[in-house]
Structure 1
Amino acid sequence: MNTPPLPSGAEHADAHPVRLGVLVPLTRPGWVEAGRHLLAGLDLAAREVDDAGGIDGRPLELVVRDTAADPERAAAAVDELAALGVAAVVGEYHSVVARAAATRADALGVPFLCSSAVLDTLTEEPTEWVARLAPAQSHGWRIYADFLLGAGRRRIAVATQPSVYWASGTRILRDHLAAHGGSVLELDANALTPDSLCDALVDHGATALLLLVGHPEPAVPIVRAVRRDRRLAEILIGAPAGQPELAEWLTALGGEGAGIPFLRYLPERLGPLGERVRRELGERLGEAPSFVAFEGWDTVAVMAAVLRSHGTDRAAVAAAWPGVAVEGTRGPIRFSRTPGTGVRQWAWAPVQVVDRDPAEPDRFRVLHAG
């Protein structure tokens, strides 16, 4: 399914629009709620760009394509968007999908600004065509490992599924924890039932279980099983990939989904711009915006600045990454070469370890910042 382009903001009579390709997961098996938040941020910012005069008087048009968490579908969408004449492609939440999009964009010579995916290596070789806002997985997940160590959790089990993203996360955690006397046990969530996974946690003497699995399946059944197993009353459940951030987690698990630390990319306090955007996103979404929605807004803010200063020629857009200096919702955004990523990277968006307060699950508690 191809999602039709979204209208953006004010009317610009007789002006040919500047087209921006957008990749978001809008259907299963993609994380639909994350896609909805990302698109809300992108669209709000695009409408604000148009209200401020567009791109040199031309409207900014978002041409949206649903990736459904499918790498092949994303690569095909980049081909289609390139043929439609977009100035650049932006977006995506799922790391493996973003990598496929980045690889294809690099091959075609289409600028790609990745909004939310964190897998360290988005392209096999360094490229000038790709930039990213989200912090690299190795940066954020090491901060999460420091949180675990500070909480006295050193015998870590990970419930995991086959995926480059989950395997990368496991490796980052194992390397960082091992250097500080910790250990990581991998448990195959596809091979173990939730009850047998609980037995393995008891046998291992795990002090923490990290959910490196899909949502809602099998994450939700695993959380329920662990929460209801009296032998595991003292174990910490964690979800570094951020599943508890979005409201559907709370809908599925209620109070059992609280007290599960996860990573999010927000500062301790938002500035005036961030607060304004937070309010407007909340009105659009009908709920508190996640960090993913802020990533969407910041993406368009960067692209608007680049398009206004360097025009819509694709090579000029890609050449502009090193000179970006944009005030985003979460702080000043600049791109640099970061070892191990191969792309132009914002180093770094603010990182927090947060959970939902067991006494008030709608409220978030900041447990650690890095």
Structure 2
Amino acid sequence: MNAPPSSSAAELTDRSPVLIGALVPLSRPGWAEAGRHLLAGLELAVREVNDAGGIVGRPLELLVRDTAADPEKAAAAVDELAGLGVAALAGEYHSVVARAAAARADALGLPFLCSSAVLDALTEQPTEWVARLAPAQSHGWRIYADFLLDAGHSRIAVVAEPSVYWASGARVLRDCLAPRGGTVTELDMRALDPAAVCDELVATRATALVLLVGHPEPAVSIVRSVRRDQRLAGIMIGAPAGQPEFAEWAASLGDDSAAVPFLRYLPERLGPLGARVETALRERLAEAPSFVAFEGYDTVAVLADVLRVHGVERARTAASWPSVAVEGTRGQIRFSRTPGISVWQWAWAPVQVVDRDPAEPGRFRVLAPPPK
């Protein structure tokens, strides 16, 4: 009787697709525009992997599931994709949704490379199964807090909706600003309309308002109200979560879309790979790609490298996170254990503070380049 082929030999003769499950918000109430950019990056990288011979001759194939910003829907998708035999999971933009997906992936023993979610506590306990490309919220939002202080803003108001993500962001800002004499006043959007937000800003004498709310609403209505209130002519509006990155923001607000600083996970200048991918993404999207599209591309680049080197067995993929060394569109990607972070983390993707230029809202200005 012949001995069964080894797993590596089987992979060399098998030409069936290597399946990757892709979790993406493509419908409301999810941030569908961010999801569209994330998916464009994922799909572009899959096409390039297959053009270069796939995974040891096997084509890479995405199985895309729309999470629609729903944690329960995401967890159900993880169960479905695991049953369909995916080698790994990729994607997701919304932190609360990614947390649900990560918990389920951890329970099932399914590798998950999260593209965009930043919540520090992506899982309740440390896990070997999950890795992340986006910088943790505590890292990026600390840079944003430094930017606020450097710009002369020490009296900050945050208008927030109930969410573990928004609450975590407010806590980061408060913890960073308080030791340096800054104050953070929280305004509960459940109890206020946009006009009442303006009244509270006047009463607190805040010099900056930070939006910790959903897009397009209530973010768009708040910006319009503040911009039109003569009492608040000098106040700065900020959106660290990145709402102004996308064309929908500019389309909704016109000139009011400008001068709203946000966090963007791109270097000052793209290298040759990043520039080539930017051109391809622009063609695919018919608009300038956001940093989220680059996150999608880099996710597949990392997974493809891992699968080529270590094979498609799930446990081997999870065990490979600490040995990853992949040149991504925004720098070399390596994963490590970072204090306070429960998953394998790229520390760090470049972080810059950017806004839309008031003179030309379609153009971005870098207000604070990535820290050296």
Where on the TM-score scale, by shorter chain, does this alignment land: which range? Answer: over 0.9
Cα distance in structure 2, aligned partners of 1:139 and 1:38: 22
Matched, 1:298 2:302: no
Deviations 1:329-351 (A, max 9, x none): 00000000011111100000000
Tell me what 2:86 maps to. Answer: 86
Tell me what 2:307 maps to. Answer: 307
Cα distance in structure 1, aligned partners of 2:361 and 2:123: 39
Q: Which amino acid is 1:342 matched to?
A: S
SS in 1 for 2:16: coil
Cα distance in structure 1, aligned partners of 2:194 and 2:126: 41
State TM-score, norm by structure 2.
Answer: 0.96
* Aligned residue runs from structure 1 range 33-48, under 5 A: 33-48=33-48
Tell me what 1:128 maps to. Answer: 128
Cα distance in structure 2, aligned partners of 1:284 and 1:306: 26
Q: Which runs of 5+ in 2 are unaligned?
A: 1-12
Deviations 1:49-78 (A, max 9, x none): 000000000000000000000001000100
Matched, 1:338 2:313: no
Deviations 1:4-49 (A, max 9, x none): xxxxxxxxx9820000000000000000000000000000000000
Cα distance in structure 1, aligned partners of 2:252 and 2:138: 29
> Size of the alignment, in residue pairs?
358
SS in 2 for 1:93: coil
Tell me what 1:6 maps to. Answer: none
Tell me what 1:4 maps to. Answer: none
Cα distance in structure 2, aligned partners of 1:203 and 1:197: 10
State TM-score, norm by structure 1.
Answer: 0.96
* Aligned residue runs from structure 1 range 57-206, under 5 A: 57-206=57-206
Cα distance in structure 2, aligned partners of 1:238 and 1:217: 15
Q: Which runs of 5+ in 1 are unaligned?
A: 1-12
SS in 1 for 2:180: coil
- Structure 1 runs, 4 residues or longer, greater than 2 Å off: none
Cα distance in structure 1, aligned partners of 2:282 and 2:132: 25
Tell me what 1:231 maps to. Answer: 231
Q: CA 1:52–1:216 in structure 2 vs 1: closer, same or farther (change >3 Å)?
A: same
How far does residue 188 in structure 1 lie from its aligned partner after superposition?
1.1
Tell me what 1:367 maps to. Answer: 367
* Aligned residue runs from structure 1 range 175-324, under 5 A: 175-324=175-324
Cα distance in structure 1, aligned partners of 2:333 and 2:40: 20
Cα distance in structure 2, aligned partners of 1:100 and 1:341: 16
Q: CA 1:122–1:14 in structure 2 vs 1: closer, same or farther (change >3 Å)?
A: closer
Q: CA RMSD in A?
A: 0.9
Q: Which amino acid is 1:51 matched to?
A: D
SS in 2 for 1:179: helix
Q: Which amino acid is 2:76 matched to?
A: A
Cα distance in structure 2, aligned partners of 1:275 and 1:17: 29
Q: Which amino acid is 1:248 matched to?
A: E
SS in 2 for 1:187: strand
Cα distance in structure 2, aligned partners of 1:35 and 1:332: 24
